[in-house]
Amino acid sequence: MIRFTVAVSLDNCIAGPGQSPDEPLGRGGEELHDWRFDKSLQTPEDAAIEAEHGQGVGAGIMGRNMFASGRGEWDLDWKGWWGPNPPYGFPVFVLTHYPRESLEMEGGTSFHFVTEGFDAALARAREAAGDADIQIVGGASTINQALAAGVVDRFRLHQKPIVLGEGGARLFVEPARYKVERVVASPHVTHMDFSA
Amino acid sequence: MIRFTVAVSLDNCIAGPGQSPDEPLGRGGEELHDWRFDKSLQTPEDAAIEAEHGQGVGAGIMGRNMFASGRGEWDLDWKGWWGPNPPYGFPVFVLTHYPRESLEMEGGTSFHFVTEGFDAALARAREAAGDADIQIVGGASTINQALAAGVVDRFRLHQKPIVLGEGGARLFVEPARYKVERVVASPHVTHMDFSA
């Protein structure tokens, strides 16, 4: 199964306008995740849903803009935003136009750089995942590419009741129809599961 | 209290791209409302929530583009999309650049054309509503104007799990923060109440 899980604003942005090295989630974007990190905003049900994140995933696909700020040739000292032990625990295939050696990180995460496009990354992720799920990790343009390719089986939105505004990284570009699978609302976030 | 209630897509559109006299809700936009009209898609809770629509409202504000297709001088034969007995039952103040005589319709609806802008329409709506609520009826640009003015106290989204796509009439333009008040999910629509 191919799926994604993202925190979104009311205007369906997963990052605010003005993304930069200092503000990788753009203006206001960190607030999308406040309920994850501030336990006082979290209900037991939020915690249980958050604990499901990444479970059953055997491989991921990520856009270069989520792995690094900037474009062009690689700064080989850059190994992602997440430190030596990224929160994935599975091989992540990073879409890029610039070849680079794979990176083996701690905790089971590895980054593999794919220059042949989304379909090639998906083929490699399928091989790595075996019977486990593939997670389209992000960002928005990679998720939209997966949606446009019609390969996404399920997705989960953690909706925060904020508007990030014009210039944010928006999901959902092409007309489509999904099914509501489950909705769980808490004071600070609404969790919504959909299937294709 | 000032509020609005709209049916929205996953990409926060209240109408699809390509709105026209033949397709006033744009491509795909009618599907936003299918659960209202096709009782087989409706749960008892959907029906109860839908029955709340317009209750307690004493006056409305509507943009010209919701009242009529096209711009410029009025076609005085045009009295809105809704026939002789529109589904409002209260005075509706229509924002326009072109003066026109008020229209008294059946069932308590009247249309009053306001050329002095949103604040003037709001002042007239307040006077007409008295202690009752004011509903920002639509369309998207009028709702966004009300949101930008900071006058909206509550709003309800009936979210359909469809994407209408680029060029649709989108809500939510400027950064903002709301509170989740209540969420009710059904197989075909998720009802979400927010407060400012």
Q: What's the complex ipTM?
A: 0.93
**Beta sheet of A91-95, edge-to-edge order:** A103-104, A110-114, A91-95, A57-63, A133-138, A2-8, A154-159, A190-195, A179-185
Predicted confidence band at A69 (pLDDT cuts at 50, 70, 90)? confident
- Angstrom distances, CA of residue A95 to CA of A1, A21, A68, B179, B186: 20, 19, 11, 37, 37
Give the CA radius of gyration of chain A. Answer: 16
Rounded to 10 deg, the angle between the B140-148 and B118-129 helix axes is: 90
| Residues of chain A with C-beta less than 8 angstroms from the C-beta of B10 | 12, 172, 178, 194
Q: Taking residues A181-190, what's their average pLDDT? A: 96
pLDDT at A102: 98
Of residues A12, A162, A163, nearest to B10 (C-beta): A12
Residue of A nearest to B180 (CA): A187
> Is the model's pLDDT at B71 over the cut of 90?
no
| d(CA B97, nearest CA chain A) in Å | 27
| d(CA A122, nearest CA chain B) in Å | 24
CA quadruple B124, B127, B130, B131: dihedral sign: positive
| d(CA A162, nearest CA chain B) in Å | 4
Q: Taking residues A11-36, what's their average pLDDT? A: 95
Measured distance CA(B157)–CA(B159) in Å, rounded: 6
Q: What is the DSSP letter of B12?
A: -
Give the CA radius of gyration of chain B. Answer: 16
Of residues B162, B175, B192, nearest to A190 (C-beta): B192
Cβ of A162 within 8 Å of Cβ of B183? The answer is no
pLDDT at A21: 86
CA atoms within 13 A on the CB side of A19: 20
> Is the model's pLDDT at B21 over the cut of 90?
no
Residue-wise pLDDT for B76-99, tens only, equals 999 999 999 999 999 999 999 999
Query: Which B residues, 6 through 65, put their C-beta within 8 Å of a C-beta on chain A?
Result: 10-12, 16, 27-28, 31
> Is the model's pLDDT at A71 over the cut of 90?
no
Predicted confidence band at B147 (pLDDT cuts at 50, 70, 90)? very high
Of residues A165, A175, A185, nearest to B175 (C-beta): A165
Q: Taking residues A185-194, what's their average pLDDT? A: 96
Q: Taking residues A96-120, what's their average pLDDT? A: 97
CA quadruple B21, B25, B27, B30: dihedral sign: negative
Measured distance CA(A154)–CA(A52) in Å, rounded: 14
pLDDT at B64: 95
> What pTM was computed for the model?
0.94
Q: Is A30 strand, coil or helix? A: helix
pLDDT at B149: 95
Residue B174 touches chain A, beta carbons under 8 Å: yes
> Is the model's pLDDT at B141 over the cut of 90?
yes
> Is the model's pLDDT at A173 over the cut of 90?
yes
Interface test with B, best of A12, A34, A170, A181 (most B CBs within 10 A): A12
* Residue given tokens 């050329």 in the structure block: B115
> Is the model's pLDDT at A70 over the cut of 90?
no
| d(CA A130, nearest CA chain B) in Å | 30
Cα A166-A188-A47 angle, rounded to 5 deg: 120
